[in-house]
Amino acid sequence: MVTTRSRGQMILIMSVLFAVTVLTTVVLLNTLHAPANVNTERQASNLGDIERVEGQAADDMERLFQVHTSMNRTGEALPYAAESGGPDDPFGDVVNNTSELNAALSASESGAAVSVSYVEGRSQEGMLVRQNNSTQNFTHRGYSPSEQNWTVLESADGLPRLSMYVTDGPDASDPPFEVVVEGGGGKLTFDDDGVEGAGVDCDLAYPIRVDATGGVGTVSNATDICGEFDLGVPDTFNLTFENGSQAEGTYTISGVEAIDTDIEGNTFDWQQQYDGVVVNPAFRVQYTDPSITHRSTFRLYGESSP
């Protein structure tokens, strides 16, 4: 027989059991959801670290690429690498040695380790053309008044670097100086008003700087960065200076698998050509911490996953 007292005890017990069940459920749900939130935050943190590391690796490798192997006879650091940077120091060995030093330093500061290696098989070779006298015009060494146009790169498969420093240009009565990507690309036109074309319109104020990787870059004049441009570089193209005698300045231009530019063997210090050199090196970055290992491969001047 169930008495009033026993009924009250049963109700009390059931209430306690219900409360325990609710509390257990809440604790269980919190236990299940907390790691997901922590993992999400950790993944976001890792992603941020990886992006930062890859950006820093690209900056470091560009400095190493130019300085170690590319000091030419005029003492310039240029964006190309010969097969080796010295009698016993191939470029890949230098990259690996630098990476090992950086990895040791980073491992001592945090739980993450970063290594960078040179990927020779995915690097791109070609030609680099350079002029470093700002009072010379944009023609080749065999220039004559009847040769206003010059194909700087012929049948190139890529344009890793295009850097120009224009110190003087055409007057109102002169034809414009143009940098033309033949084969479906765009062009930059320098005249007495400034620079225009390929998405940029820059007022005249010398000197004018052009800096691009993969045909995409910026134009700046003496006072400001005044525009971005995209030359729309096709798979195969020629790069031509038209009316090159109408402007003066310096340039550094590299082309993947480009054909001779007619200045090979030039004895002038202010104009050089380098054939069969690496113009767009590839690197592999590995980021490792206690929770993740991430690998990526990139070319220095474009194409993140060659």
Q: Name which residue leads in pLDDT, 49 or 16.
A: 49
Q: Name which residue leads in pLDDT, 267 or 174.
A: 174
Q: What is the pLDDT of residue 294?
A: 84
Do 210 and 227 touch, CB atoms closer than 8 A? no
Q: Which of 14, 289, 31, 299 is nearest to 157 (CA)?
A: 299
Q: Tokens 């230098």 identify what position?
A: 94
Do 79 and 65 touch, CB atoms closer than 8 A? yes
Helix or strand or coil: residue 87? coil
CA–CA distance, 292 with 213 (Å, rounded to integer): 32
What is the percentage of the chain residues whose pLDDT exceeds 90?
41
Binning pLDDT at 50, 70 and 90, where does residue 303 land?
A: low
Tokens of 209: 């700087």
Tokens of 213: 């990787």
Q: What is the pLDDT of residue 55?
A: 83
Give CATH 2.60.120 domain extents, the chain: 124-280
Strand partners, 125: 278
Q: Name which residue leads in pLDDT, 171 or 31.
A: 171
CA–CA distance, 4 with 1 (Å, rounded to integer): 10
Cis upstream peptide for 87 (omega within 30°): no
Q: What is the pLDDT of residue 109?
A: 53
Q: What is the pLDDT of residue 76?
A: 73
In terms of Cβ atoms closer than 10 Å to its own Cβ (0-12, 13-18, 19+), residue 254 is buried
Q: What is the pLDDT of residue 192?
A: 95
CA–CA distance, 176 with 246 (Å, rounded to integer): 7
Checking if the pLDDT of 15 tops 70, the result is: no
For 71-99, the pLDDT digits (tens) are 655 667 888 887 654 444 577 777 877 77
Q: Alpha helix locations (H) across the chain?
A: 4-69, 91-109
Checking if the pLDDT of 43 tops 90, the result is: no
Q: What is the pLDDT of residue 249?
A: 96
Q: How many CA atoms lie within 13 A of 115 on its CB side?
A: 14
Q: What is the pLDDT of residue 306?
A: 58
For 119-159, the pLDDT digits (tens) are 988 999 999 999 999 999 998 766 555 567 888 999 999 99
For 244-275, the pLDDT digits (tens) are 999 999 999 999 999 866 665 555 667 888 88
Lowest mean pLDDT among 45-49, 155-159, 270-274, 300-304: 45-49
Do 158 and 233 touch, CB atoms closer than 8 A? yes
Binning pLDDT at 50, 70 and 90, where does residue 110 land?
A: low
Overall average pLDDT of the 160-170 stretch: 96
For 222-237, the pLDDT digits (tens) are 999 988 999 999 999 9
Binning pLDDT at 50, 70 and 90, where does residue 59 land?
A: confident
Overall average pLDDT of the 164-184 stretch: 95
Q: What is the pLDDT of residue 8?
A: 47
Q: What is the pLDDT of residue 213?
A: 95
Q: Calculate the average pLDDT of the chain.
A: 78
Tokens of 39: 């993992």
- What CATH number was assigned to the domain covering residues 124-280? 2.60.120
Instruction: Please give the angle made by the CA atoms of 117, 120 and 123, to the nearest 5 degrees.
Output: 105
